[in-house]
């Protein structure tokens, strides 16, 4: 491996990640693994390209095989980008004319087959990014054509092993995420402080939030920022529109957050220009107290199923289970993707919290009159408990009053 010119972390970070990948290949009993999506290539070798923004291109793919062998497969057009970002040795970066480019379908299979052959892999099981909470960046046609050209190889679900690695953040990753999570709340406050009654639209609030994030050092928004005004917009993941903030008793709902060095934040904050009404405060306090009650349970070895049950029991005890959006599904891991393992859902009941996991928790109430009331924080599992990475503004934020 080598220190590429634009490497985001010191080389030993990627050496440790690749060593973990090789160990998982042995554990899974496969001969090699094919990685196709942006987050995995960035995680293991720091390959980055604006080409990921095209839905019709494969900028590069990473192959890793038993014995510590690896290759980045890309096109001759994309080779300079690979040399600038990817930390594999130059001899391990393989360029093929037309690979992954629109209209060059025929180049894909020969390139991957050739790269596997160079790694000494012609038979056995080939791990792929398939399984729960996973997908490949590859068309069905290319996938089937690849295995038709590899009659001695069988695909196997490898996503679990990848997430075993990615869900445990290193100290360097944690520092990046701590900075990113801090930005997400500070940018919300900056945007709220510019909110004007009868003038500001959802889209303008969105622009202020995004601008503040970039001013603070963010480099992207991996997940679309959501901004909603008013109680009749209880629509999770709705895009901001032209609605004007016309009533100081309306709640402002903001969800998502910026990314920094590829790592994302995902917070929800509520704000308004008047102090909260009693009903708004009562519902918000349920979400806030649910955080305090459930997060106190989190420590290494605690089961996700027990955490889910505690959330659901809390909502039932407060009589809001029928208007709680997050029953049995109250959170998710965050990292290079906004939704990754660990998923806080009962289907993963036996999974345990481990030090280094980062997850979002978002107990959500959607009331037919008051609208969407929720507090979402990002938490880091530590050796003896949990750290809130988004500690600012734990109450409904009222500019110049909070």
pLDDT tens across 355-385, in order? 999 999 999 999 988 889 999 999 999 999 9
Q: What pLDDT sits at residue 232?
A: 79
How large is the average pLDDT for residues 61-87? Answer: 97
Shared-domain flag, residues 28 and 105: yes
Dist CA 188 CA 238 (whole Å): 17
How large is the average pLDDT for residues 249-270? Answer: 96
27 domain-assigned: yes
User: In the listed set 166, 200, 227, which residue is the last one of a domain according to the structure?
Assistant: 166
Q: What pLDDT sits at residue 104?
A: 78
**Structurally, how many domains does the chain consist of?**
2
Which among 48, 305, 327, 340 has a CA at the least distance from the CA of 169?
340
Shared-domain flag, residues 201 and 295: yes
How large is the average pLDDT for residues 37-53? Answer: 96
- Give strand pairing partners of 65: 32, 69
Q: What pLDDT sits at residue 235?
A: 67
Q: Domain of 364?
A: 171-388
Shared-domain flag, residues 18 and 67: yes
On whether the CB atoms of residues 304 and 312 are closer than 8 A, the answer is no
Shared-domain flag, residues 189 and 305: yes
Q: What pLDDT sits at residue 56?
A: 87
The enclosing H or E element of 60 equals strand 60-65
User: In the listed set 131, 166, 201, which residue is the last one of a domain according to the structure?
Assistant: 166
Shared-domain flag, residues 125 and 179: no
pLDDT beyond 80 at 345 = yes
Strand boundaries in 117-251, DSSP class E: 124-128, 153-157, 226-229
Shared-domain flag, residues 230 and 305: yes
Report the predicted TM-score, pTM, of the whole model to 2 decimal places.
Answer: 0.95
User: In the listed set 141, 166, 191, which residue is the last one of a domain according to the structure?
Assistant: 166
């Amino acid at each position: 491996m080598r220190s590429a010119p634009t490497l985001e972390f010191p080389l030993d970070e990627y050496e440790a990640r690749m060593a973990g990948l090789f160990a998982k290949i042995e554990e899974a009993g496969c001969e090699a693994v094919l990685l196709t999506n942006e987050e995995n290539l960035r995680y293991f070798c720091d390959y980055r390209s604006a080409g990921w923004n095209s839905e019709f291109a494969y900028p590069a793919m990473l192959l890793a095989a038993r014995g510590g062998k690896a290759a980045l497969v890309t096109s001759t057009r994309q080779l300079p980008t690979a040399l600038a970002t990817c930390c594999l040795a130059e001899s391990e970066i393989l360029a093929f004319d037309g690979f992954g480019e629109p209209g060059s379908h025929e180049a894909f299979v020969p390139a991957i087959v050739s790269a596997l052959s160079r790694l000494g892999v012609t038979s056995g099981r080939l791990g792929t990014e398939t399984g729960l909470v996973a997908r490949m960046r590859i068309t069905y046609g290319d996938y089937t054509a690849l295995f038709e050209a590899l009659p001695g190889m069988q695909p196997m679900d490898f996503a679990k092993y990848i997430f075993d690695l990615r869900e445990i953040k290193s100290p360097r990753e944690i520092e990046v995420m701590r900075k990113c999570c801090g930005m997400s709340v500070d940018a919300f406050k900056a945007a709220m402080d510019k909110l004007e009654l009868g003038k500001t639209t959802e889209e303008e609030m969105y622009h202020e939030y995004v601008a503040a994030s970039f001013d603070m050092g963010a480099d992207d928004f991996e997940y679309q920022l959501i901004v909603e005004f008013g109680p009749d917009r209880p629509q999770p993941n709705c895009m901001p529109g032209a609605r004007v903030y016309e009533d100081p008793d309306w709640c402002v709902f903001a969800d998502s957050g910026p990314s920094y060095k590829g790592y994302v934040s995902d917070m929800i904050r509520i704000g308004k220009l008047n102090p909260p009404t009693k009903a708004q405060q009562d519902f918000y306090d349920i979400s806030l107290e649910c955080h305090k009650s459930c997060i106190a349970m989190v420590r290494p070895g605690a089961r996700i199923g027990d955490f889910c049950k505690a959330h659901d029991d809390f909502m039932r005890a407060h009589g809001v289970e029928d208007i709680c959006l997050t029953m049995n599904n109250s959170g998710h891991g965050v990292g290079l993707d906004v939704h990754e393992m660990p998923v806080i859902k009962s289907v993963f009941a036996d999974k345990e919290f481990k030090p280094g996991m980062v997850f979002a928790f978002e107990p959500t109430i959607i009331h037919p009159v008051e609208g969407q009331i929720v507090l979402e924080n990002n938490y880091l599992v530590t050796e003896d408990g949990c750290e809130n990475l988004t500690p600012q503004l734990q109450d409904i934020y009222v500019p110049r009053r909070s």
